[in-house]
Amino acid sequence: MTTPLFDVEGSLVKMPVALAAPVGYTFQVGEYALPLNELLGKRLRIEFTGEIRCTACDRVTSKSFNQGYCYPCFRKLAACDTCIMSPEKCHYHLGTCREPAWGEAHCLVPHVVYLANSSGLKVGITRRTQVPTRWIDQGAVAALPLLEVSTRRLAGLVEDACRAHVSDRTNWRTMLKGEAPALDLAAERDALLEAVAPALVDLKAEFGEECLWAPTLTGELLSYPVVVWPEKIKTHNLDKHPVAEGVLEGVKGQYLMLDTGVINIRKYTAYRVRVQVTETN
């Protein structure tokens, strides 16, 4: 019987990443940190034990809401409010934020509006401190800041203006096949800034000239640890089949690419799993 290189158990979290060529990934299973780049070509077995513990309150929940929360926390935490997905709907300024201190720490801070190429051109936003992590999590092969702004709400309003010209969606299947087309992001940025110039004038008039400024951050070209790109995308679903097993062929975004299918690790945040890694021979 083959002795596992790793045999660990714990709760899943979003995979930590490190900017490198290719991107460095860690598979965090509870207190254990597995160096994924070094495990390419090894066999992974991920078994869901049936237990999900809320990442906020640690109570056992039969279903995960918003990637790792129990239903009561989903209903009360600012991190789960609708304005997280639609930042232009931020309501802190109305005095109705679920957790004002959380909003001050996460929303009333500088944000970046950016262009990225993950499955084609898209616009997105992230906290300034999350660059380039956000780009890596989306599987972008290139990304470039468009503007920097003073708050999340303002970033959402700029993004909303951009959405009339550029998609804000990633086709995750195209992203995982490595089929993103070649794009000149600098040219796309210049064209988009020209297209949204009237909207930016209005936003500056409402929020002040000092609330929007040219980027101080630079763009990135990104590569990922992938040895075999999948021809067809088949997904592992731990809720339907508690075991996902196969040879690790790549990592991109928050996905593990096994020769048997792909699995979105972020989707299973707070799921307790047993992970075994063995040689393929």
Same domain flag for 76 and 213? yes
Cα torsion angle, 79, 70, 49, 47, sign: negative
Residue 1 falls inside a structural domain: no
| pLDDT above 90 (res 1) | no
Residue 34: which domain range?
Answer: 6-69+225-278
Q: Is 22 helix (H, G, I), strand (E, B) or coil?
A: coil
* pLDDT at residue 183, rounded to an integer: 97
In this predicted model, what pLDDT tens digit does every residue of 137-188 receive, in sequence order? 999 999 999 999 999 999 999 999 999 999 999 999 999 999 999 999 999 9
Same domain flag for 184 and 145? yes
Residue recorded with tokens 């290719």: 22
Of 221, 248, 270, the last residue of a domain is: 221
* pLDDT at residue 3, rounded to an integer: 83
* pLDDT at residue 13, rounded to an integer: 97
Same domain flag for 90 and 121? yes
**Average pLDDT of 240-260?**
98
Same domain flag for 189 and 205? yes
Number of domains present in the structure of the chain: 2
Q: State which amino acid sits at residue 152.
A: R
| pLDDT above 80 (res 6) | yes
Residue 27 buriedness (CB in 10 A; 0-12 / 13-18 / 19+): buried
* pLDDT at residue 92, rounded to an integer: 96
| pLDDT above 80 (res 2) | no
* pLDDT at residue 129, rounded to an integer: 97
Same domain flag for 207 and 264? no
Residue 164 buriedness (CB in 10 A; 0-12 / 13-18 / 19+): exposed
* pLDDT at residue 80, rounded to an integer: 97
pTM over 0.85: yes
| pLDDT above 80 (res 59) | yes
| pLDDT above 80 (res 281) | no
